[in-house]
Amino acid sequence: MRLIFLIFLLSCSQLPSIGEKVPEREVYGYWHESVPLLKEPGSNIKSGTILKRNEQALVQYVADKYVFLKTQKGSGWVKEDYLCSPPKTRTSRDELRQWSKMRHRCPNKRTLEDKSFFSGKFKTDKDELITTFHQGSVIYELNIKDPKCTKFERGRLIIKGDSAYSTNITLNFTDDYIDVNFGPNSDCPNFSKDFYYRLKSCVTKHTLKMFYKLKSSVRDDDAIALSQLLSYPIFTKVRDKVEEIKSSGHFVKLYPRIKNACFKRSIANLRLTDLVCNTTGVMWSDENILLGKKFYQIPLCQQN
């Protein structure tokens, strides 16, 4: 009996003592890589639970500008400003997204059922991918004309989660794009590229060309190719210090100290759907990347 009573007390202690109970709704972490949840709204006492960016949680209580969240790892209070709401379900990619009335919108959450999600026509700067959902699998037609991989192939893929795969290729699907990844024993060993369904109007042929050149040069550790994409002087992090790099040769010399895990991950995770259009070109504000005729800014990453 004592053990049962103790378990009861522990379970009750995780519920807040203040706030208004509300119907549960799904939200996600928005602004930071991680946000500590608090024991009480407005306090500085942490609950011991961290809400990561894009991590799912359920709102259970509300108190002023704070909400009480339940996550898979724990619970606690956080400002609603640090959350975003998922878009509503759509019937096709051509249907505009809609969100519930919340300040921030989660842009990359799945909104489509399998038939629409696994079907579509996707492109890069010069390549094309057509996928069709058929009897629980994906039929695809891929035409790649990349300097690192040129091939045309058709096939059928097994679906697992939001991905479809065979022995030598995996397609990772989202609402807006597909990441194509070849295996080490394929005709294009370890080659990868992201294909898009629709792009913003400010994405020009020049934007596409520079975007894919940036990703391939960083993926292949090609410092010379990368240096030619940059407009000098440029400021970037070399170890733990921000330095002004004045020329292509200077960049190539310092690149072994620039290409840390954070830098390579930032570029690998870059997507055309996340860019912002402005008067000087396009930018990825989260990664501190600005592109005009060339790249004027690149990620400022800490050495890992």
Q: pLDDT tens across 8-50, in order?
A: 434 444 567 678 999 998 898 886 668 899 999 988 999 999 9
75 within 8 A of 68, measured Cβ to Cβ? yes
298 within 8 A of 245, measured Cβ to Cβ? no
pLDDT at 123: 97
How far is it, in rounded angstroms, from Cα 192 to Cα 265? 14
pLDDT at 102: 65
Q: pTM of the full predicted structure?
A: 0.78
Name the stretches of the chain with pLDDT < 70: 1-15, 17, 31-33, 101-103, 286-287, 300-304
pLDDT at 221: 93
**The amino acid at 242:** V
Question: Which helix (H) or strand (E) is 252 found in, with range?
Answer: helix 248-258
The number of residues in the chain equals 304
pLDDT at 69: 95
Backbone CA torsion sign across 231, 236, 238, 244: positive
Question: Which helix (H) or strand (E) is 226 found in, with range?
Answer: helix 223-227
> Which CA distances in Å does 199 have to 47, 156, 192, 276?
41, 27, 19, 11
pLDDT at 6: 40
216 within 8 A of 229, measured Cβ to Cβ? no
